[in-house]
Structure 1
Amino acid sequence: MTEQAISFAKDFLAGGVAAAISKTAVAPIERVKLLLQVQHASQQITADKQYKGIMDCIVRIPKEQGVLSFWRGNMANVIRYFPTQALNFAFKDKYKQVFLGGVDKHTQFWRYFAGNLASGGAAGATSLCFVYPLDFARTRLAADVGKSGAERQFKGLGDCLVQITKSDGIRGMYQGFNVSVQGIIIYRAAYFGVYDTAKEHPHLHQLDDRPVGDGRGRRGLLPLRHREATDDDAVGAQRSRHHVHGHHRLLAEDLQGRGRQGLLQGRLVQRPAGHGRGLRAGPVR
């Protein structure tokens, strides 16, 4: 292996370990956020049992489901990190050959910047096609509020993937994908595009040590994506009368039923979770 390959492998492994630690640390916050976002679409959470807010959710989860349930769905979240990063870097380099072929980074700054944005966004979208089932399973596991094995809808990650595939086929694993891919294109375009451009221009180096693209551009889409992921809530059971076909109708239902506040459900919990992601943020190589 070349020195560059060894250096990349070390950075990749270190980043993976840091991500696993940070994701595990903020998993309780992530689960509270998910439950607040999806409870209105969940058949397991009836209207009289819905959480009234962050503190109510934090207090009731250990009482009703046990303390360890705070980390429900975290394993899928950790597992998906490694293939996501590997695919992002691999596809980004391939897309750079397409978008930046023949572009002079010194004399064609804006074209170079646009090419980096396009490469990052396209890499993120392509990678998501492969790892989205894990992200979807993480959402479904986190939204499963049963305490014991008999009360829970899924026994674990493998059981979740098998049940959904049996009931809805492969397409069932990609519910909410359209919303998620819009968010990831914005996020990865900023994450990779801005950093790669700043790295090649000395007057922009002050950006190098800052976490670029903290995900704010996709936060407004998160409740829609999680709602779509949980709308098909009971495997083998009758669909809820609130079942929605696509995020445009879901957006309209949320605005009509709960107003703008419904689209921002869980936003306060998102902030500390974002700080946790900052633990693993650093220069992207």
Structure 2
Amino acid sequence: MNAHSSNSVNVNTQLLKGFCMGGLAGVITKTTVAPIDRVKLVLQLQAVPCNVQAQQYGGIVDCFRKLCAEEGVKSLWRGNSATVVRTFPSNAMNLAFRDLYRTVFVNHVDRKKYPTRFALGNTLAGGAAGATALVFLYPLDFARTRLAVDSAKHSQGQRFNGIVHCFRTILLSEGGVHGLYKGFCASLQFTMISRAVFFGIFDTARAYLMDKSKTDQLSFMANWCLAQSAVITSSFMCYPLDTVRRRLMLESGKKVKTYKNSLDCWKKILKNESVPALYKGALSNSLRCTSGAMVLAVYYEMVKYI
């Protein structure tokens, strides 16, 4: 086997390894925090009218206690299967492509001798990984956004019966495959920048701490704290981009468009709603991203043994 073939095999093996471990880390994390997500949803929706008598809960502890008593402990994981199906490809692709691009931008750089180049390489690898994964995952994210808004329009009736029907409707009546990628450029901007900031901070800080402690691995808690700091920083820095991309997603299917493009969206939000409108929901979003930090901590725990 020549050197080129050997390198190709190594790259493919690394990509597959990163894909499997990244996906598995996401599944483990989401399954671990599933009870918290279930309680959060129950508390959020308990006041919504339904066909059965609503069960009122006095808070998080009361909700946990009553769910376990009335539905059993297993009920705390209800709905986790759907979450896992969505989580696996997302985490798998992001971490696999991040590892792949690090071989291009980072592995040949002496981080002690060229710290700035090393940090830039981590930033580029993160942004490139996010962009590559988005090409595959955007239609799913687009459909999920359309479904979330559609379910809230009770006065007009729901347009979509589920995610499969949503995909079919968009493909048939909104421009085919192109319809599934409306707003892609705005999402690409957000994803590239947020992933670049996140992995640029995390991978660079992690390498610095390993050098300082003279070890090739960090503890679970150290990885989690680093990832949490990185995810909070990136989420607040990039949240306005997320606001713009979500609004552009919702333009699809409208007869009268509010925004011409992402630049027009920025201008109108700043002119008509002011800067705070770009950050609506930013705090809750940063708290929700905690599980994303845990994915990386779990991922590096798995690396220790594989």
Do structure 1's residue 177 and structure 2's residue 184 form an aligned pair? Answer: yes
Question: Alpha carbons of 1:182 and 1:76: their partners in 2 closer, same or farther (altered >3 Å)?
Answer: farther
User: TM-score with structure 1 length normalisation?
Assistant: 0.69
**Partner Cα separation in structure 2 for residue 96 and residue 62 of structure 1:** 47
**Partner Cα separation in structure 2 for residue 60 and residue 253 of structure 1:** 36
* Structure 1 residue corresponding to 2:26, chosen from 15, 19, 23: 15
Q: CA deviation at 1:123?
A: 0.6
Q: How does 1:181-220 map to 2 (within 5 A)?
A: 181-201=188-208, 202-203=211-212, 208-210=223-225, 211=227, 212-214=230-232, 215-220=235-240
Do structure 1's residue 256 and structure 2's residue 271 form an aligned pair? Answer: yes
Residue 126 of structure 1 corresponds to 132
Q: How does 1:58-207 map to 2 (within 5 A)?
A: 62-63=48-49, 78-100=84-106, 102-144=108-150, 145-147=152-154, 151-168=157-174, 169-201=176-208, 202-203=211-212
Instruction: Say whether the 8 Å CA contact 1:133–1:174 is kept in structure 2.
Output: yes
Query: For structure 1, which runs of at least 5 residues remain unmatched after alignment?
Result: 31-57, 68-73
In the TM superposition, what whole-angstrom CA distance separates every residue of 1:13-67 from its partner, at most 9, and x where no partner exists? 243142256478558979xxxxxxxxxxxxxxxxxxxxxxxxxxx6798238999
Q: How does 1:35-46 map to 2 (within 5 A)?
A: none
Partner secondary structure for residue 245 of structure 1: coil
Q: CA deviation at 1:281?
A: 5.7
In the TM superposition, what whole-angstrom CA distance separates every residue of 1:181-223 from its partner, at most 9, and x where no partner exists? 2222232223333333333332286963312323222211222
Structure 1 residue runs of 4+, over 6 Å off?
A: 4-8, 27-30, 64-67, 74-77
Question: Alpha carbons of 1:115 and 1:251: their partners in 2 closer, same or farther (altered >3 Å)?
Answer: same
RMSD over aligned Cα atoms = 3.9
User: TM-score with structure 2 length normalisation?
Assistant: 0.65
Residue 60 of structure 2 corresponds to none
Q: CA deviation at 1:254?
A: 1.7
Question: Alpha carbons of 1:247 and 1:155: their partners in 2 closer, same or farther (altered >3 Å)?
Answer: same
- Judging by fraction of residues, say which structure has more helix: 2
The count of residues paired between Structure 1 and Structure 2 equals: 245
Q: Which moved more, 1:257-266 or 1:154-163?
A: 257-266
Percent identity (aligned): 30
Which of structures 1 and 2 has the bigger CA Rg?
2
Q: CA deviation at 1:165?
A: 1.6
Q: RCO (CA 8 Å, sep 6+): is it higher in 1 or 2?
A: 1
Q: Which moved more, 1:247-256 or 1:269-278?
A: 269-278
Q: CA deviation at 1:96?
A: 2.1
Instruction: Say whether the 8 Å CA contact 2:183–2:245 is kept in structure 1.
Output: yes
**Partner Cα separation in structure 2 for residue 278 and residue 102 of structure 1:** 27
